[in-house]
Amino acid sequence: MRYSDQEGTLAVQIAREALEAFVEGRSMRSFVVPKLFEEKAGAFVTLSKHGVQDPYEKLRGCIGYPEPFFPLLKAVVKSAEGAAEDPRFPPLKPAELTRVIVEVSLLTP
């Protein structure tokens, strides 16, 4: 199974909203998602610093679920929240939100 470009774009939008809501301490806005997002699937969210070229300095956080424990929507949300608190880095601050790139990897069975 492959995810479409539209599904990938939606996953990034969901991850960005989940990240911002988590860091800002507010409720996440809701999304209308295709049925596919209700199926269990693995996902990873990677946060990178915008404008940083050095690969050793670029990573800001990466958390995910390699196994399909959660519905895809929940896996993306939990991964985004987890990436904000990746234990390898200080917790993401609201001032950093405009300077991070959000990448989502959707895993297929």
What CATH number did the domain enclosing 15 receive? Answer: 3.30.700.20
Split into its structural domains, the chain has a count of 1
Residue 77: strand, helix, or coil: helix
**Nearest to residue 13, comparing CAs of 107, 97, 108, 103?**
103
Using CA atoms, how far apart are residues 42 and 63, in angstroms rounded to an integer? Answer: 11
Question: Residue 55's pLDDT is what?
Answer: 84
Question: Residue 103's pLDDT is what?
Answer: 98
Residue pLDDT tens, the chain, 109 long: 789 999 999 999 999 999 999 999 999 999 999 999 999 999 999 999 999 999 889 999 999 999 999 999 999 999 999 999 999 999 999 999 999 999 999 998 6
* Host domain of residue 20: 5-106
pTM for this predicted structure: 0.94
